[in-house]
Structure 1
Amino acid sequence: MLQLKHIEKTFNPGTVNEKRALTDLNLDLKDGDFATIVGSNGAGKSTMFNAITGAFYVDEGQIILDGEDITYKKEYLRSHEIGHLFQDPLRGTAPGMTIEENMALAYLRAKTMRNQYFSRINKADKEKFREQLAQLDMGLEDRMKQPVGLLSGGQRQALTLLMATMVTPKILLLDEHTAALDPATAAKVLALTRQIIAERKITALMVTHNMHQALELGNRTLMMDAGSIIFDVSGAEREKLTVDDLLEKFKENAGRQLDNDRILTSK
């Protein structure tokens, strides 16, 4: 479903602020894979996601999604096929618009139809929105006319997850999407994430700072450092790994101890 081939990206080249963010990055993600990603501070996890979504063009390499080379495809066109959730619950929704209007925007964008207007959303579509909101078990189906800005962070993140998957994307990118939520809400959003991915058989990449999640969720675990994937494990080998084993693998492959405090405190 997704191939990254020898991806390179350097920001501010030739200046004192030059930063090599991605270095010979390679990944082959099969259809239906759900891979978790952990790594050091500044390892390039979010940068890899931004390269996939088209927030910038890479310097070298290829990005292939479902057999199509999208390396130089514009970001707004990629958004028709790629779902993306951020750590900040305030991103991904328009606070001044109602829940119903936000869902309509997401639905029309993902349907990839031209010249779409809100008038194209019919009664059946609105009923579908209501049914999907009811599945969140947050009472949002009775608040469809309220502005999204009135929702809590957890409610907004759950809504964003729903919006990103209401038309099944080819790939779903989750960038620590529960990290800013309180533990109870984070657990609920994570449970919804697992349910939606499993039911829709969505191919997904999820960045997490929780080492237990990295081994328990999905079917693959990736570790990143210095803009590259330094460890990729799945199957029986992954099932045998402990958190301490994962930390040791990082040390072996990166040549140093993992320096991400959030990851170490989650151990």
Structure 2
Amino acid sequence: MLVAGIVGLFLMAGFVVAMVLIHRQRQVKSQHKMALLKAEYQNTLLNVEKEIREDTLHYVSQELHDNIGQMLSLTKLVLSNPDPASISEGKQLINSIIKEVRSLSKSINRDYIKDVDFLDFLSEELTKIERSGFCRTNLRHPTQPIVLQDDNKKLILIRLVQECLNNSIKHAEPSLIEIHVAEQEGTLHLEISDDGKGFDLTKASSGLGLRNLQSRMEAIAGSLSLDSTPGLGTRIHMSLAI
């Protein structure tokens, strides 16, 4: 009985040690996984900031050349006329140029992107598309404001929206782009759809693009799904806890 008791104690001690080691291994794996997720999130954030900066500078260069440059040339022609009415028109043009420059200066500032209201951002993006004459747009959203607590997550979500819109502009040839925003029990639901030519999701190129969008959404603990059929347009749905 004594021997059996000693053996039992050794077995129990071995079991306890084994359980401690297993628990420790799980903790190490969990910590490693969290470190990888944190690193992926930081890498995604850095890439997004770089891409937004590059896109913004490209947009600013276009605006300076196509919009402000033309307005300045027109102002020069108007002010070269000594007629008092032309001087008054020139002053109005100068005021318009000042407003355009202020708008561009805001778009360069990263803090502006972080501080801008999310629904205002969506409206501005669609307004740019309509103003270019590319296609019609429509934004549906709740009356209450959408508040994203984490500015970095907001920045990544903004970039995701821009990517989806750019893809639609470059490849879909739509006559209408729509964005539908809803909030249910603390979860933001965002749907971007177009009536363009669509594409085959089984193709490698589209699959790679979808994985890139999904990985970025997963980096901010969200989910993304895409549905597209050739000739029937594309629909992208994103959801994120806010």
Whether TM exceeds 0.5 here: the answer is no
User: Could you state the TM-score of these two structures normalised by the residue count of structure 2?
Assistant: 0.29
Larger helix share, 1 or 2: 2
Which protein has greater RCO, CA pairs closer than 8 Å, 6+ apart? 1
User: Larger Cα Rg: Structure 1 or Structure 2?
Assistant: 2
Larger strand share, 1 or 2: 1
